[in-house]
């Protein structure tokens, strides 16, 4: 549907409803509706750039930022409203027992993350010692301090609460111990956000870690590769239009708001060359993500730059 549409409001509306389109059929089939929704989100998160136009993406990002913020807030409000009912349903268990369950599961969540991340970090550092460090994208070698930060960054949030709330409720047909799971999930979220969230900054300072801006370096690499791909499309073309595009294109990625001189983009040939150059830049950016040379953050940042370029008066 989205591939065939050319209407930003309709496409953004469909993107907002896609989660329900995945959840409802899976729920009726008796399988995990939450996993179905997450799967749809992961798939579309990867393929949406191929299905939408720059105008839709730029408007959609703004809409989704607001929607995500509201959903996060409303979900915590919903949990707060359900807590009295959940606690009443657990009246047979003492407060100390409930606190013990919550503490045990929270500790397990933290310890398991530490065990996994630190073990992976150890194996990876051993591999670096044996074979050298040759990452597909610009990054620094793994360190123990970095692994500690990643381990301590395992705060739980909306996904944990959503998974707990998605369990079937109701007498007789409800999921076993659903109320206890919801309460423990809330305690995990609250505990990790308060404990790990408030202590993360002091831990970074104690380990003397500094931001080397890996996403920024990936963006620079992708931008350079995209410019080269765009310029390659002009090889062998010595027409006045090609010379103009060749002279200006290196600045396009950073000057989306530039207004060309009068008559600079007046010809259809000129516009066509610009369009082909921009398509080549987009393809280079996409290929780098597929080859794991850059991550999603860098990909989407450069994609946004290219979208603004295409929407600017210079490209038009």
Place of tokens 């992708």: 222
Residue 260 pLDDT > 60, yes or no?
A: no
Q: Are 60 and 12 in contact (CB under 8 A)?
A: yes
User: pTM of whole model > 0.75?
Assistant: no
Where on the phi/psi map is residue 93: left (φ > 0), alpha (ψ -120 to 50), or beta? beta
Q: Are 314 and 259 in contact (CB under 8 A)?
A: yes
Assigned token pair, 168: 């079937």
Q: DSSP per residue over 80-94, as a string?
A: HHHHHHHHHHTTTS-
Residue 149 pLDDT > 50, yes or no?
A: yes
- Give the contacts of 127 (CB within 8 A, at least 6 positions apart): none
If pLDDT is split at 50, 70 and 90, which confidence band does 265 have? very low
N- to C-terminal Cα distance for the chain?
A: 27
Highest mean pLDDT among 13-27, 170-184, 282-296: 13-27
Q: Tell me, what's the pLDDT at 22?
A: 95
- For the segment 113-119, the average pLDDT, to the nearest whole number, is 95
Residue 259 pLDDT > 60, yes or no?
A: no
Angle between helices 214-232 and 296-311 (to 10 degrees): 50
Distance CA 286, CA 299 (A): 7
Give the Å distances, CA to CA, from 171 to 1, 74, 181, 183: 40, 26, 16, 17
Residue 3 pLDDT > 90, yes or no?
A: no
If pLDDT is split at 50, 70 and 90, which confidence band does 269 have? low
Over residues 150-178, the pLDDT tens digits come to: 999 998 888 888 888 878 876 667 788 88
- For the segment 113-141, the average pLDDT, to the nearest whole number, is 89
Half-sphere exposure of residue 127, counting CA atoms within 13 Å on the CB side?
Answer: 11
Q: DSSP per residue over 247-258, as a string?
A: HHHHHHTT-TT-
66-70, 246-250, 296-300, 307-311: range with lowest mean pLDDT? 246-250
Greater confidence (265 vs 226) lies with: 226
Place of tokens 């994609």: 303
Residue 284 pLDDT > 60, yes or no?
A: yes
If pLDDT is split at 50, 70 and 90, which confidence band does 264 have? very low
Q: What is the mean pLDDT of the chain?
A: 82
- For the segment 240-252, the average pLDDT, to the nearest whole number, is 68
Greater confidence (313 vs 85) lies with: 85
Highest mean pLDDT among 8-22, 55-69, 276-290, 301-315: 8-22
């Amino acid at each position: 549907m989205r591939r065939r549409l050319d209407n930003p409001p309709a496409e953004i509306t469909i993107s907002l409803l896609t989660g329900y389109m995945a959840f409802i059929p899976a729920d009726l089939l008796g399988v995990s509706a939450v996993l179905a929704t997450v799967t749809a989100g992961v798939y579309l998160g990867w393929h949406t750039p191929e299905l939408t136009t720059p105008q839709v993406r730029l408007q959609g990002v703004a809409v989704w930022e607001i929607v995500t913020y509201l959903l996060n807030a409303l979900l915590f409000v919903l949990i707060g409203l359900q807590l009295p009912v959940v606690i009443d349903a657990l009246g047979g268990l003492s407060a100390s027992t409930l606190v013990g369950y919550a503490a045990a599961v929270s500790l397990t969540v933290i310890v398991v993350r530490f065990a996994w991340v630190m073990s992976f970090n150890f194996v990876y550092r051993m591999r670096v010692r044996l074979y050298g460090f040759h990452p597909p994208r610009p990054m620094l070698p793994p360190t123990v301090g970095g692994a500690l930060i990643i381990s301590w960054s395992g705060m739980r949030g909306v996904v944990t609460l959503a998974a707990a709330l998605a369990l079937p409720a109701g007498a007789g047909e409800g999921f076993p111990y659903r109320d206890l799971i919801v309460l423990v999930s809330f305690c995990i979220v609250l505990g990790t956000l308060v404990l790990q969230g408030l202590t993360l900054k002091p831990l970074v300072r104690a380990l003397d870690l500094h931001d080397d801006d890996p996403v920024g370096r990936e963006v620079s690499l992708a931008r350079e590769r995209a410019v080269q791909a765009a310029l390659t499309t002009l090889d062998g073309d010595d027409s006045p239009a090609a010379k103009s595009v060749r002279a200006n294109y290196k600045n396009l990625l950073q000057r989306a708001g530039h207004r060309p001189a009068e008559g600079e983009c007046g010809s259809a040939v000129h516009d066509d060359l610009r369009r082909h150059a921009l398509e080549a830049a987009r393809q280079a950016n996409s290929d780098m993500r597929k080859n794991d040379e850059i991550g999603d953050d860098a990909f989407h940042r450069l994609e946004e730059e290219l979208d603004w370029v295409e929407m600017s008066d210079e490209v038009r």
